[in-house]
Amino acid sequence: MADIMIDVREVSRDFRLALPPGTEKGIRQWPRARSDIFRALDRVSFSVHRGEVVGLIGRNGAGKSTLLKILSRVLRPTRGEIDIYGRLGSLLEVGSGFHPDLSGRENIYLNGALLGMRRSVVDGLKDEILAFAGIGTFADEPIKHYSSGMYLRLAFAIAVHLDAEILLLDEVMAVGDEEFRRKCLTRIEEACRSGRTVLIAGHDLATLSTLCQRFLLLDYGRVAADETPENVTAHYLRLINAPSDRAV
Amino acid sequence: MSPTPTVPLIRIRACGPAQDAGLRAVWASRELLLSFCEREFAVRHRQTLLGPFWTILQPLLHTAVFVVFMHNFARVPSDGAPYSLFAYAGLIPWLFVSNSVQSLSYGLMMNAHLVTRVYFPRLIIPLSMILVRLFDFGAATLAFFVVAAALGVSPSVYLFLLPLFMLHAAVLALAVGAWCSCLISRYRDFGTLLPVVLQLAMFGSPVIYPSSLVPAHLRSLYFLNPMAAIVEAFRDSILGRPFAVEPWLVSFAITIVLAYALIRSFVGQEQHAVESL
């Protein structure tokens, strides 16, 4: 097997829950009352090799987003270690690096820089990005005047032009109309085939299984299955049809 | 594709500061710093009527207030210079530091939509803010020279040290502002407390009164406030008066130690602060 790009070892993440109503809050509760802990990730271990496209699936609250946030270093693990062997670009939420007062063109530079693109690279790509997004005459308009569709298209256009070796994507397939969606999927397929390492979280199993060679199923913060899309899909369907075994 | 390095590019650990959050990481991300500065610069005067003129107008308006109350009513001395110029020259560095600390301390919160979604060295946020404000500081200082020249006051031979004093003020404001931004992200209480502390600091610095009013036995204590010597040195050099080196050197040493400690603390707790946003 090819070289390891992402190596996740025994990663756990706890969140402190809000205190129940009626308990004393603020300085009066200090230092005694401690709130309950919710374990969003529980000793998760896996590794991803170069060129692999892995689908991250699981029910709502299974820990998919927490895992992606930890990998993109927005959150820290409570325990465990991760090594990443490559430049990483993450798109956790569409348009997250946008400033409403800047124009579309200016935002391409800001967003590109945030995602780790060199300015010289953005110079060469900006026309292609604008064309891909279909922004047309609105390129120099502050993006707070954009329609939500234009906003999403621009964000996604920047993301698919990223030159990162490792891509983290979360639910990004759900943007725009059918035509733009198809265009994005083609672009993602290209990225997947170009030897990039991709980790995609989502719920659209049909689309994901056309893209990925491997599914990682999270359930209650643990890795419940990690193999081919067909086998994991069957496992997942059993899970969601089974009566809930734990109160959330 | 480049071959996989044997040493990971990114290590994620549960504790300790992020692997790349300090000044070296900021240098590696200097293009992002530039983008942030551009953004800061482009949006700072959006939706204002007077735009960049506020940089010049704000110290003038403050000066007018203090001329009326401190000079006309309270008869505060001004070491021989016209009180209006005296206060104006003190208010320019003071307002730079005070405004900067105020806005930097909300830097992480204002960028919550970014820092909770993308990783980059967070130090870039306060750094870009202070760089843009340093530009305004320069503009306000130039405006002062115009006013002073019109009143027939020429600067001293220490004028060449002015950029150093400005940089000194900027380092102090950066460190304090960055550190406060971590604190305020976690406990909003400090957002309410900060203006009070800043006001106290203004009265603890020779902004609207000369340091010669401070009793001799308290002077060494007084100059432990690094802002005191910055304001004094800045004013002396643009008003053409002899400049006292010793208090400034003490202030410079204090600033370096303080800045080192506060920036280190920022880098150590930025991730924690971001998670509480």
Dump the DSSP string for A18-85: PPPTTS--GGGTTTT----EEEEEEEEEEEEETT-EEEEEESTTSSHHHHHHHHTTSS--SEEEEEE-
Rg (CA), chain A: 20
Between residues A155 and B61, the one the model is more confident about: B61
pLDDT tens digits, residue range A76-85? 999 999 999 9
Report if residue A55 sits inside a domain. Answer: yes
Q: Which band of pLDDT confidence, cut at 50, 70 and 90, is reported for residue A247?
A: very low
A74 has a chain B CB within 8 A of its CB: yes
Q: d(Cα A173, Cα B214) in Å, to the nearest integer?
A: 67
Size of interface A-B (CB pairs under 8 A): 105
Chain position carrying tokens 């299974």: A62
Select from A3, A81, A101 the Cβ nearest to the Cβ of B43: A101
For residues A231 and A235, give the distance between their C-alpha atoms in angstroms, rounded to a whole number: 6
Q: What residue of B is the nearest CA neighbor of A76?
A: B14
Of A77, A88, A99, the CB nearest to B43: A99
In a domain, B268, yes or no: yes
Question: Could you tell me if A50 lies within 8 Å of chain B, comparing CB atoms?
Answer: yes
B2 assigned to some structural domain: no
| Spatial CA neighbour of B96 closest among B239, B258, B260, B230 | B230
What's the one-letter identity of residue B44? R
- Does A246 fall in a domain? no
Q: C-alpha angle A50/A56/A57, rounded to 5°?
A: 160
Q: Is B16 near chain A, with CB under 8 Å?
A: no
Decide if B41 contacts B136 (C-beta within 8 A).
Answer: no
Give contacts of A106 with chain B, Cβ < 8 Å: 38-39, 42
Q: What's the residue count for chain B?
A: 277
User: Is the CB of residue B192 less than 8 Å away from at least one CB of chain A?
Assistant: no
Q: Looking at the domain assignment, is residue A139 inside a domain? A: yes
Is B250 within a domain?
yes
| pTM higher than 0.90 | no
The per-residue pLDDT for range A151-168, each reduced to its tens digit, is 888 888 887 787 788 888
| φ, ψ for residue A224, nearest 5 deg | -90, -30
The count of domains in chain B is 1
Q: Give a yes or no: residue A24 inside a domain.
A: yes
Does residue A163 sit at the B interface (CB-CB below 8 Å)? Answer: no
Of A74, A75, A85, the CB nearest to B4: A85
Instruction: Select from A76, A92, A163 the residue whose CB has the most chain B CBs within 10 Å, as the one to mutate to test that interface.
Output: A76
Q: Does residue A126 lie in a domain region?
A: yes
Closest chain B residue to the Cα of A70, Cα to Cα:
B12
Q: Which CATH number does the domain housing residue A212 bear?
A: 3.40.50.300
Task: State the residue range of the domain holding B103.
Answer: 23-42+52-275
Cα B238 to chain centroid distance, Å, stands at 19
Give the pLDDT confidence of B106-148 residue by residue, as tens digits.
Answer: 999 999 888 888 888 999 999 999 999 999 999 999 999 999 8
Q: Which residues of B touch A7 (CB under 8 A)?
A: 8
CB B275 to CB A87 under 8 A? no
Q: Which residues pair with A168 in a beta bridge?
A: A90, A199
Full residue range of the structural domain in which residue A70 is found: 4-241
Look at residue A248 and tell me if it is in a domain.
Answer: no
Is residue B79 domain-resident?
yes
Length of chain A as a residue count: 248
The count of structural domains within chain A is: 1
Mean pLDDT of A125-153: 87
